Structure formats: structure tokens, C-alpha cells
């Protein structure tokens, strides 16, 4: 079996500083997917085109399968990806006493996690596996405001499910969000809040 490795995730500050988060115990997090690309290299396309193509391919093989796939593609965001990002971030920031969440109230700040690219990867058992990967733009804003206080990019967060779960696109991408949350929590106090 050939496994094509994903490159390590790279975090980079692109604007401002996240130091306003120093001493904050809870931060609201919201997720955006608008204008997202899917695939990488020659296979890269806008999400709408990707959904149309995959849905058509699956429905051609089996009526209704493409419709089910499209529902799962979107439902996995809230059902799988966001929770993984938050869990690994919160674990990494537990000593600092900071927690992020989608349902937190009375927060001074909000993190906007915008997925700009998703590489779903693929797995053909006993032949080849290409890990999933995501690119994120993470912004810090005052809750209720659009004014960006800080912005960082997380490029190439790899996700690879193990053993029998590798065939499931949602599992592979879920691991990308887990890696991104873990890496962001490690990077934030060392570089992001300086």
C-alpha cells in the first residue's frame, strides 16, 4: 500500500495579534465555509462545482446516493468537524484556563474559523491513500463586531483516519480539524499572543 503523506501544518500571523485573549476564560467560535475550494492542484474547484460533480456521479451509480452524500458533506461540519477542533483546542489550552465553544454566551471575543480549502483525500484499500487536508483563516473579532483584531492562517492541516475508517471522507477531514485545533492551541500562547 502506498500512503502519500500530507505536509505539516503551517501557522502564520497575517494581521494584528491575539494578545487580547490573554486572561480570557471563554471565547465564542463561529465557522464559515463561504467561497471554499475543494481539492488541490489540478483538481481544485469551487465547492459548488465539486458538490454538483460528486452528487451526479453517485446518483448515476445509485439513485439517491448522491443526495445522501451531499447531506452528509454539509452535516459533518457541525456533527463532526467543529467538535473535534474545539475539543483539541480546549485540551491544549486547559492549563491557560481558556475554552472556546459554539454555544458560549457573554463572551467578549469571537474566533471566526473560515475554511478556505478542503482536500478530502481518498483511500483505495491496499493500493493508495491520500490524507485529507484543510486550510483555515482564523480571525479574532470583538463579539458582535466585524472589526478584525487579529488574523492567522493555518495551511495544510493533515487528517488521516486509521485502519477501517480511512475510507470515510468525513473521518479523514475530521482528523484535519483535530490537528488544526491542537496546532492552534500550541501556537497561540507561543506566537499568536505576543
What pLDDT is stored for residue 6 in this prediction? 43
Is residue 188 classed exposed, middle or buried when 0-12, 13-18 and 19+ CB atoms within 10 A define those classes? buried
N-term to C-term CA, the chain:
44
Query: DSSP string of 77-120?
Result: IIIIIHHHHHHHHHHHTGGGT-EEESS--S-SEEEEEEEEEEE-
Are the C-beta atoms of 176 and 134 separated by less than 8 Å? yes
Closest by alpha carbon to 158, among 137, 130, 124?
A: 130
**Looking at the 3D structure of the chain, how many domains does it have?**
1
The grid coordinates of residue 70 equal 451531499
| DSSP label of 191 | I
Q: Are 109 and 24 in contact (CB under 8 A)?
A: yes
pLDDT of 173 higher than 90: yes
User: Structural domain of residue 182, as residue ranges?
Assistant: 2-192
pLDDT value at residue 3: 37
pLDDT in tens, 104-162: 999 999 999 999 999 998 777 666 777 899 999 999 999 999 999 999 999 999 887 55
Residue 100, pLDDT > 70, answer yes
Mean pLDDT for the stretch of residues 82-94: 97
As a whole number of angstroms, the distance between CA 52 and CA 5 comes to: 28
The CATH number covering residue 74 comes to 3.40.50
As a whole number of angstroms, the longest Cα–Cα distance in the chain is 54
Percent of the chain predicted with pLDDT > 70: 91
Amino acid at each position: 500500500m502506498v500512503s502519500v503523506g500530507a505536509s505539516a501544518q503551517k501557522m502564520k500571523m497575517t494581521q494584528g495579534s491575539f494578545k487580547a485573549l490573554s486572561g480570557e476564560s471563554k471565547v465564542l467560535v463561529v465557522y464559515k465555509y463561504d467561497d471554499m475550494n475543494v481539492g488541490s492542484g489540478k483538481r481544485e474547484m469551487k465547492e459548488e462545482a465539486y458538490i454538483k460533480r460528486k452528487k451526479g456521479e453517485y446518483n448515476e451509480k445509485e439513485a439517491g446516493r448522491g443526495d445522501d452524500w451531499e447531506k452528509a458533506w454539509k452535516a459533518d461540519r457541525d456533527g463532526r468537524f467543529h467538535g473535534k477542533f474545539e475539543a483539541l483546542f480546549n485540551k491544549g489550552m486547559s492549563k491557560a484556563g481558556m475554552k472556546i465553544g459554539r454555544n458560549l454566551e457573554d463572551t467578549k471575543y469571537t474566533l471566526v474559523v473560515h475554511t478556505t480549502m478542503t482536500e478530502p483525500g481518498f483511500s483505495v484499500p491496499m493500493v493508495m491513500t491520500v490524507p485529507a487536508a484543510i486550510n483555515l483563516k482564523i480571525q479574532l473579532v470583538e463579539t458582535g463586531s466585524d472589526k478584525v483584531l487579529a488574523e492567522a492562517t493555518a495551511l495544510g492541516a493533515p487528517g488521516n483516519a486509521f485502519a477501517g475508517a480511512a475510507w470515510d471522507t468525513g473521518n479523514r477531514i475530521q482528523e484535519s480539524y483535530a490537528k488544526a485545533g491542537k496546532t492552534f492551541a500550541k501556537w497561540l500562547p507561543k506566537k499568536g499572543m505576543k
